[in-house]
Amino acid sequence: MPNPSLPPSSPSPKQQALRLVETAFLASTSALLWLVSVYINPALPLVRLFFPLPVAIAVLRWNRRAGQMCMVVSTLLLTVLLGPTRSILYLVPYGILGLWMGCMWQQGRSWARSIAAGTLLSSLGLIFQLALSSLLVGENLWALFTLQLTGFVNWILDWSLSWLGIHAAATLLTIRLAIVGLLAINSIIYVFTLHLVSALVMEKLERPLPPPPRWVQSLLLS
């Protein structure tokens, strides 16, 4: 079995075959998870936690090249099955996030650093998905959403504060900053939960993650 941190420089034919088979299996698992999320929408919040895992497992089981192969093959499979748009939505951010997290875990980076990097990648990925959706529908969805949300918030403020004689209005800039803040919070929660799930899965695969903070260890052991 290959060393998780120092893969052999010249693997034997048996190891090469095993790496190829495992990478293909993990790539098909990624595609299957994405298909489940497309056709079984109620399961999406739970399934989302596992999107980056197969690529990260490939990195920890073998090396970064295996993770890259897993990510590329998964994207190609989804392109054939669902078309390029859906495959791009998998690749950004989940495929890239899985590759990046796997590399950081393999290098022994702390949870704080990997969560910070994962949060940034996840947030940028969500922004990319919004931009791609805007391009496909021919509308600026970001501007449309913020304008509608601003009007709704101002209506709530008028309805709740008018009996006090207070008139307050939320500016468009305030709403946009609030949305960015909520986006960052959502990404932090997602990446942290991904770390928890990955810690449990990798422990079973004998490829443990770097040690988490003590309060997280107590949470995992409880």
Residue 3 lies in a domain: no
Output 142 or 7, whichever has higher pLDDT. 142
Which phi and psi angles does 168 have, rounded to 5°? Answer: -125, 150
Residue 1 lies in a domain: no
- On the question of pLDDT at 214 being above 80, the answer is yes
Q: Tokens 């595609």 belong to which residue?
A: 31
Domain of 197, CATH number, reads: 1.10.1760
Report the domain count for the chain. 1
Task: Determine the pLDDT at residue 10.
Answer: 66
Cα 112 to Cα 91: distance, rounded to the nearest angstrom: 24
Residue 109 lies in a domain: yes
Residue 144 lies in a domain: yes
Q: Which of 182, 181, 208, 214 is nearest to 195 (CA)?
A: 208
Residue 5 lies in a domain: no
Residue 138 lies in a domain: yes
The pair of structure tokens assigned to 80 is: 């054939």
Number of Cβ within a 10 Å radius of residue 117? 17
- On the question of pLDDT at 1 being above 50, the answer is no
Residue 162 lies in a domain: yes
pLDDT single digits (tens) 89-120 = 999 999 999 999 999 999 999 999 999 999 99
- On the question of pLDDT at 6 being above 70, the answer is no
Task: Determine the pLDDT at residue 3.
Answer: 52
Q: What is the pTM of this model?
A: 0.87
Long-range Cβ contacts of 147-151 (<8 Å, 24+ apart): 147/172, 149/175, 149/179, 150/175
Residue 32 lies in a domain: yes
Lowest mean pLDDT among 52-56, 153-157, 208-212: 153-157
* Residues ≥6 apart with Cβ < 8 Å to 222: none
Range of the domain at 73: 13-221
